[in-house]
Chains A and B, each alone.
Chain A
């Protein structure tokens, strides 16, 4: 057990806590950004944060700090006890009943040594290659975009006063490129972000740079279109935003607080029968995979929507108790702050149809390639987002579109899906295939 975690639990016990958990997260990050072939920004980060949740019977408080001297920890836990004593009791408070079993060796391989030790020179070469490829791809690409490589190495140590103790290490790499295309009358940007557990899992930087350039150039000449009700397609890159909206609507706290349009709908048919939404905390190569959740409960694969029927919410111990259900091992602990239920690796299972075939059999419609804003209200399910994309007519892409919105209601949208592609792709921990909605309102001129 790490020393600060042990000291925190000991201090809690001495101060009369009825229970406690303590989590120490240590992170190293390196980011290198290149503009016009030259280093523009180099940043290195080192953070260590200790988060403690202290129970006084049915009262709880959460504190965090990076002052990890024995005195700093005593002060921190003292503050936790002071706050817990002021808080109102809640019978659903308390440590989890479950504890993740010890992890067998190599069961979940989340750490790449080479990535953790990446030097600035290698990051520079990578970022330069991405940026260079974007600029070489098309003469309309200006040398004012950027290429970026970021790596993060993280270790997590969690222990509870009931005896659970565990730790794990993860790495992640983010390779990105932003390309700016210019014509006499406009500028358009194309951005590509790719993530993997290690740098070897990323696509080649030239591929990322080339795609950023393609995405920027395809937007040149974008027009506003007249308001129309029409089919709307989302490519995987933009379809994952729908998965993120579902994560919010299915989070145990959104449900418990009466802020979700999906509350009270367990067992109901909420989507087309082909729709399968899965949360998997142990997905191989999943960016959010980990052996135990933010409270030390075992992670697992949880079908949330199965054959279109709502089967489960994303729950932690507190929200599970509040709803009379069992935790799904989805306690997410932010760097600082109390655990809340959240998604791990969350994705829609692919369908059978090739994405190109879906486009080819679209008589007319909008393929959404970029989104602006937030535009989703989990209380009502109302969906209204600024988008840019490509207009399809007779099965082929005709021209780019910008400055329009797509609107509907998520509950209707889930039942209005009429095509699911076979092209499931992940962006960070969220995954989706191409999706077509039979009809949404596109607002333009």
Chain B
């Protein structure tokens, strides 16, 4: 472990006050500094060896001035009095006139009240040979699982991020965030057909857990199994049909169908299909959906959001009724509600906005096998790649990468990958069975919105949707 020549986050109180003052011009309600120091490292295994290694140091400060509905934002990779002064001056230009700003009331620095990721050795401080050894183990293990395995690729991403959020109205909180993400890809072939299976695992926990609990083995087994299964794939049917979604990662359904649609910025503005619909039925009685940033060790969790608000478990939909939105501070204020701890940003170089944390449907009581038996002809999808949504009209997609035909209530042959498309305003009204087998994803989710990516979690029990369009090729 090298000892750096400069402290990771210079937090001199006088400097912070002057930085905040620079951003507090007339008309500015609130100024905020977001300081960040992070290390991100990637090791990639291919052809049995780790040849590709990289490390990034990301450090800087974001200065925000909020004036009513407006946001002024400037960032710099230098954290000095001068750079703060310049950035502050830029940020405050958002407001040209108005009441004189209140003076800075600098709070005392606090750690968050709960610690969801108490890691003793940051992932980026783990010895590189140990990380390489894990990746080589992955390669060896994958090849024992099936002789058809030809290529194995694996990438281990390690991150350690320290952030401090300091505002002119007394918020001053510091958080230390580890993050691990392992992706495995196995390529198999039989005759001249080749298929690739991908799986991953990760979260905010130590490398010792990834190795000690052998969480990595499941990712390898899943990747190989997925590839081998898909060797038998047949063309995917096309058209509207009943779809059963397996537990865990298919929770991306919620993320795309309603998740973005329930972010407060879109609703405050009125651009979301769910704007003005709090209190209305948007799902069947079987559906209670929450966004919960307080789950220990999860990729999507945070002790505090990126505005310093403690995270919460927010009930979005209760037995089918829309209860509320996910907010950051600005949108909470404009909507007249409490902030829910969903103000997130990709880095110091980005202003915050409402984002999801871990979004999932609570377990029901149905038996997953019964749920499948209730479908005469349809699709059973257990894993997906990505998804996307048009929040204005509510159309959303998610891309299946392991799915099977359902024929007379039984799981049939696997089908080639296809996109499923639906409408968020009605898809949850088509859910007529919810299993007791809630699972969260394995910790690899990335959410993109308006040019910013953040890590998220999703989850779902087995559910049945009566009527979703499947984008196959067999019409």
A contacts, CB < 8 Å to B: 35, 38-49, 59-67, 69, 71-72, 74-76, 78-80, 82-84, 86-90, 93, 120, 142, 144-145, 180, 186-189, 219, 222, 224, 227-229, 257-259, 336-338, 370, 372-375, 377, 379-380, 382, 384-386, 388, 402-409, 441-445
For residue B196, CB closer than 8 A to chain A, the reply is: yes
B387 CB, nearest partner CB in chain A, Å: 6
A443 in contact with B351 (CB, 8 Å): no
- In the complex, are the beta carbons of B419 and A384 less than 8 A apart? yes
Specify which chain A residues have a CB less than 8 angstroms from the CB of B4 in the assembled complex.
Answer: 75
Please report B residues at the A interface, Cβ cutoff 8 Å. 2, 4-6, 42, 46, 49-60, 69-78, 87, 90-91, 93-94, 128-129, 132, 150-151, 153, 187, 194-196, 236, 238-240, 269-271, 273, 349, 351, 385-390, 392-393, 395-399, 401, 416-419, 421-423, 469-475
Q: Are A44 and B56 in contact (CB under 8 A)?
A: no
Q: Which 5 pairs, one residue from A and one from B, show the smallest C-beta to C-beta distance?
A: A405-B471, A386-B397, A88-B49, A66-B77, A443-B238
A382 to B6, CA, bound (A): 50
Query: 11 more A-B contacts (CB under 8 A) besides A87-B50, A407-B472, A441-B474?
Result: A41-B72, A65-B57, A74-B5, A88-B50, A187-B271, A189-B390, A258-B151, A372-B389, A373-B419, A374-B399, A382-B418
The answer to whether A382 touches B416, judged by C-beta atoms less than 8 angstroms apart, is: yes
Residue picked from A39, A93, A222, most chain B C-beta under 10 Å = A39
CB–CB A257/B151 < 8 A: yes
User: A388 to B390, alpha carbons, bound, how many Å?
Assistant: 10
Q: Please state if A189 and B69 are interface contacts (CB–CB under 8 Å).
A: no
Is the beta-carbon distance between A407 and B469 smaller than 8 angstroms? no
Q: Is the CB of B2 within 8 A of A75?
A: yes
Q: Which residues of A sit under 8 angstroms from B270, Cβ to Cβ?
A: 142, 144
| Alpha-carbon distance A406/B473, docked complex (angstroms) | 8
Q: Judging by beta carbons under 8 Å apart, are B132 and A86 in contact?
A: yes
Min C-beta distance of B71 to chain A, whole Å = 5
Nearest-neighbor residue (CB-CB) of B150 within chain A: A258
Among A39, A67, A79, A229, contact of B70 (Cβ-Cβ < 8 Å): A39
Shortest Cβ gap from A30 to chain B (Å): 9
Partner pick for A41 among B53, B58, B70, B389, CB 8 A cutoff: B70
Give the secondary structure class of B's interface. strand
B2 and A44 form a contact (CB under 8 A): no
Given contacts A258-B151, A443-B238, contact A42 B422 (CB under 8 A): no
Task: Select which of A61, A93, A222, A445 is within 8 A of B54 by beta carbon.
Answer: A61
A79 to B385, CA, bound (A): 34
Q: A87-B53, A180-B392 are in contact. Are A144 and B77 (CB under 8 A)?
A: no
Query: B386 to A374, Cβ gap below 8 A?
Result: yes
Bound: A74/B6 CA distance, A: 12
Given contacts A78-B2, A386-B397, A405-B469, contact A63 B51 (CB under 8 A): no
Please name all residues of chain A whose beta carbon is closer than 8 Å to the beta carbon of B194 when the two chains form the complex: 258, 379
Q: How far is the CB of B80 from chain A (nearest CB, A)?
A: 11
Interface centre among B2, B59, B238 (most CB of A within 10 A): B238
Q: Is the CB of A67 within 8 A of B6?
A: yes
Given A82-B128, A229-B475, A441-B474, CB of A386 within 8 Å of CB of B417: no
Q: Which of A145, A187, A403 contacts B273 (CB 8 A)?
A: A187
Given contacts A86-B129, A258-B151, A375-B399, whether A41 and B351 have CB atoms under 8 Å apart is: yes
CA distance A258 to B196 in the complex (A): 10
Q: How far is the CB of A214 from chain B (nearest CB, A)?
A: 16
Closest to B37 in A: A67
Q: B397 touching A188 by the CB < 8 A rule?
A: no
B393 and A219 form a contact (CB under 8 A): yes
Cβ contact of B395, chosen from A46, A84, A145, A388, cutoff 8 A: A388
| Contact in complex: A87, B469 (CB < 8 Å) | no
Could you give 9 example pairs across A and B, Cβ below 8 Å? A44-B73, A59-B51, A79-B2, A259-B196, A336-B56, A379-B187, A407-B238, A407-B419, A443-B471
Chain B residues with CB below 8 A from A404, complex form: 421, 469
Residues of chain A lying within 8 A (CB to CB) of residue B55:
61-64, 79-80, 83
Q: Looking at the assembled complex, report how far the CB atom of A126 sits from the nearest CB atom of chain B, in whole angstroms.
A: 16
Chain B residues near A120: list those with CB within 8 A: 93
**Cα distance A199–B414 when bound, in Å?**
51
Contact in complex: B57, A76 (CB < 8 Å)? yes
Task: Collect the chain B residues with CB atoms within 8 Å of residue A375's CB.
Answer: 397, 399, 419, 471
User: If the complex has contacts A61-B54, A257-B46, A379-B195, are A372 and B471 also in contact, measured as CB distance less than 8 A?
Assistant: no
Cα distance A190–B271 in the bound complex, in angstroms: 12
- Pick the contact of A42 from B51, B73, B128, B196 — CB < 8 Å? B73
A445 cross-chain contacts in B, Cβ below 8 A: 239-240, 469
Q: Chain B: which residue is nearest A226 at the CB level?
A: B239
Residues of B within 8 A of A370 (CB): 390
B132's nearest neighbour on chain A, judged by CB, is A86
Chain B residues with Cβ under 8 A from A380's Cβ?
A: 195, 416-417
Shortest Cβ gap from A274 to chain B (Å): 24
